[in-house]
Amino acid sequence: MNIIILAAGMGTRLNKNKPKCLTTLSNGETILQRQINALLGYVDKKDITIVVGYKKNMIQKKYSDYSFIFNSNYENTNTAKSLLYALDSKQLDSDFIWLNGDVVFDPEILKPIFELKKSSMLVNTNSVGAEEVKYNVNDDGTINKVSKNIHDGLGEAVGINKISSFHVKQFKHQLEKCGNNDYFEYAIELLINKNIKIYPIDISNFFCCEIDTQYDLNFVNEYLEK
């Protein structure tokens, strides 16, 4: 099992003058530390790779026990390229789980994605924000589309995903087709277009929030304080 945390972005909307994943939450954890703590319930440190870019030394110094991939073009690329850089550095013979480095979640949401042997995506059906990555499904319940541009979304993709070892090479090929500004969800759509099934895992009963703005951070901190 390989775990990739995407933490190369600049987090300009939050504007903390440091990598967003190093934002300290009200319980004293950084976003990244909370993610790592949850992941270590399932994998070893050696299985976790962090893709860094903006002010990378701050992350590498604080989490020196982990492996890193540097996206040197982080200012001009999006998550598809960061994920591609990570896959370029790995043997493509095992399952991959990856997550955005700004997602705060209850650790319990990881259990089903580790247990399910299929390529899958964690989703939340409680809300369908206009600016969020949304999804809809085929008649068999598998993912049909995943994009910010969906108008009939059933819910939101929360930014935690899995590609099984059977599909990793094909997925990497789709990432290679993505442009600099593309999110990795576009590569998932391209993979689906090749008749690869991606299964949604509904985690709506648990807390999960991507932090983009100060409002998001306040919302997360209020939850943690409860």
pLDDT tens-digit profile, the chain (226 residues): 999 999 999 988 887 789 999 999 999 999 999 999 999 999 999 999 999 999 999 999 999 999 999 999 999 999 999 999 999 998 889 999 999 999 999 999 999 999 999 999 999 998 777 778 999 999 999 999 999 888 889 999 999 999 999 999 999 999 999 999 999 999 999 999 999 999 999 999 999 999 999 999 999 999 999 8
pLDDT of residue 222: 97
Q: Rounded distance, CA 138 to CA 136, Å?
A: 7
pLDDT of residue 24: 96
pLDDT of residue 15: 75
pLDDT of residue 18: 93
Residue 160 forms beta bridges with which residues? 99
pLDDT of residue 121: 97
Q: Rounded distance, CA 223 to CA 26, Å?
A: 9
pLDDT of residue 97: 98
Question: How many other CB atoms are found less than 10 A from the CB of residue 206?
Answer: 16
The residue ranges of every structural domain in the chain are: 2-225
The pTM of the full predicted model, rounded to 2 decimals, is 0.96
CATH code linked to domain 2-225: 3.90.550.10
Q: Which residues contact 163 (CB under 8 A, 6 or more apart)?
A: 95, 96, 119, 171, 191
Using DSSP, state whether 31 is helix, strand or coil: helix
The DSSP-derived string for 157-221 is: EEEEEEE-TTTHHHHHHHHHT--TT--HHHHHHHHHTTT---EEEE-TTS-EEE--SHHHHHHHH
Q: Rounded distance, CA 226 to CA 218, Å?
A: 13
Residue spans of beta strands (DSSP E) within 71-112: 96-100, 103-105
